[in-house]
Amino acid sequence: MLVRPPIAFRLRFLGLLSAIVALTAACGLGTTGPGDKTLLVGAVYPLSGSQGEGGRQELAGLRTALELAGGRQVKLQVEPVQTPAGAQAAVDRLIDRSHVSIIVGTYGSTLAEAAAARADERHVIYWETGAVADLVTQHRRYVLRTVATGSSLGRIAVDFTGRVLLPAAGLQPTQARAVIVNVSDVYGRAVADGEEQLAAATGIPVVSRIQYDPNAYSSADIAQQVWASHADYLWDVSYIADGIDIWQAILARGVKLRAAVGTSSAFCMAAFGRSLGAQAVGVFAADKPDDQVNTEALSPAARELLGRAKAAYAKQQLGSEMPIPALAGFVGGWTLFHEVLPAAKGQVTPDAVRNAAYQLDEPAGTSINGGGVKFAGPGEPDAGQNLRAPAVVGQWQAVNTMRVVYPAAFARAKPLMP
């Protein structure tokens, strides 16, 4: 575990940043101008368009973490993006014009994959706070991610099905039939691949895998294919607009399912509940935790920090609770601003920040989402991935009301069986 110096020495983040920014001013790395002691960190997020709501929430969580970490001498330079090409161009601007050595982002997996690849190519730290596609970190030296992978979200959906839904229905794994519906991009494939692999390992037959282009699809055709599969369980990997369309089409087609388990970017989002109302009730969703995490899963320090984070975020967001992207942004920001940069001991070179990140060893329950922090090390297949990032399953149990039901340590309610 990372050994922190005595609290009197640390004086929290502000005092330590004085040493950090002194070096950055001397080296010209990520400062706002000649003689300025402010450390500049790039931030790449979608702030408009279909992913704008989640991107704004995640960035707000990041800003909240910076505020509570005492980062008065850190400035975020935000680059709004909507496309992979735009994300890549934003990385180039931040490096070429602002000379940053750390870039944070990105919420969306297609954006993150492009941005992370470009930052890694240019030997700049890319710190992912929300996107889950497995490829974001794979085979990259300077990319680190604090949240769960897409494949882990897919696996927890299957694990929940096998450990909770099947026993409740009195079924053995081989007696069940599952169908996967997924968008055909890096996000959708990562989650669906994780589902398919664990299903094979646990003996649950996947009778059909329906992949679709989120920009050109027929929800009625997808619903027809789900109906024709005669599946008991649906595992869905969609974005919010297509996820709502597909679920409505499934209901309209009269498909009989024992249960549906969606994943992040659709079934878990507040917009899903708002748009569908009673039609969403009973649906499950696998994702990262929000601020309603069971506090019994937190250490005392994490519990206290969660309270402060919620209060600070509410003030910033005019009373809003911290949804899933906001909590993910906060955890990513807190890990960087409060843990890694101080541990870099005054150095903000990409290698120094990377090495400091690899020294972190925070057990489960020490992050406000119930997880911990331990990055897979260099040479490992998932190098840069936080191995202690949590994933949970929630259920819409009433109109506009989702509660975490799995795993037990995180559960706020028992699952309601359709």
Query: What's the CATH number where 322 sits?
Result: 3.40.50.2300
3-state SS, residue 7: helix
**pLDDT for position 265:** 84
Tell me how far the alpha carbon of residue 400 is from its chain's centroid: 21
pLDDT of 71 higher than 90: no
Q: Which pLDDT score, from 0 to 100, does residue 222 have?
A: 98
Does the residue 2 lie in any domain? Answer: no
Q: Are residues 280 and 155 in the same domain?
A: yes
Q: What is the mean pLDDT of residues 283-312?
A: 95
Task: Locate 229 and state its tokens.
Answer: 């599969």
- Verify that 275 and 340 share a domain, yes or no: no
pLDDT at 25: 36
* Chain centroid, CA 342 distance in Å: 24
pLDDT at 320: 73
Q: What is the mean pLDDT of residues 266-275?
A: 92
20-34, 44-58, 183-197, 351-365: least confident range: 20-34
- Residue 269: is its pLDDT beyond 70? yes
Q: Tokens representing 60?
A: 């707000």
Q: Tell whether 188 is covered by a domain.
A: yes
User: Is 322 contained in some domain?
Assistant: yes
Confidence of residue 228 (pLDDT cuts 50, 70, 90): very high
Span 44-73, mean pLDDT? 92
Q: Is 249 strand, coil or helix?
A: helix
Q: Are residues 161 and 248 in the same domain?
A: yes
Q: Are residues 167 and 259 in the same domain?
A: yes
Mean pLDDT for 139-150 is 96
Higher pLDDT, 418 or 151: 151
Judge whether 197 lies within some domain: yes
| 165 lies in the same domain as 126 | no
The mean per-residue pLDDT over the stretch 224-250 comes to 97
Closest CA to 195 of 134, 273, 247, 250: 134
What does the pLDDT look like over 191-223, one tens digit per residue? 999 999 999 999 999 999 999 999 999 999 999
H or E element that contains 40: strand 39-45
Instruction: Please name which of 154, 169, 166, 136 lies closest in space to residue 236, comparing C-alpha atoms.
Output: 154
* Whether residue 216 is found in the same domain as residue 166: yes
Q: pLDDT value at position 297?
A: 92
Encode pLDDT of 369-416 as tens digits.
999 999 999 989 899 999 999 999 999 999 999 999 999 999 999 999
Beta bridge partners of residue 100, listed in sequence order? none
pLDDT at residue number 22: 38
**Same domain (yes/no): 31, 131:** yes
Q: Residue 234 pairs with which residues in a beta bridge?
A: 179, 260
Same domain, 16 and 135: yes
In 264-374, at which residue ranges do the beta strands (DSSP E only) sit? Answer: 284-287
d(CA 324, CA 321): 10
User: Is 83 domain-assigned?
Assistant: yes
- 399 shares a domain with 383: no
Return the amino acid letter for 179. V
Task: Say what the pLDDT of residue 8 is.
Answer: 42
The pLDDT, as a whole number, for residue 37 is 72
Are 367 and 250 contacting, i.e. CB atoms less than 8 angstroms apart?
no
- pLDDT at residue 318, rounded to an integer: 67
One-letter amino acid of 76: L
Task: Domain of residue 280: give its range.
Answer: 151-287+393-406
417 in a structural domain: no
Q: Could you tell me if 84 and 126 lie in one domain?
A: yes
In a domain, 108, yes or no: yes
Residue 380 token pair: 């490992």
Tokens of 246: 């597909």
Q: What is the mean pLDDT of residues 312-323?
A: 85
Residue 414 lies in a domain: no
**Residue 331 and residue 314 share a domain:** yes
Nearest to 283 by CA among 154, 165, 149: 165
- Counting the structural domains of the chain, the total is 2
241 and 313 fall within a common domain: no
Whether residue 11 has pLDDT greater than 90: no
Lowest mean pLDDT of 14-23, 153-162, 170-179, name the range.
14-23
111: closest CA among 134, 88, 94? 88
Q: Structure tokens of 198?
A: 């664990």
Q: How much is the pLDDT for 346?
A: 72
Phi-psi region of 49 (alpha: psi -120 to 50; beta: other; left: phi over 0): left
In whole angstroms, how far apart are CA 367 and each of 264, 300, 308?
20, 11, 13
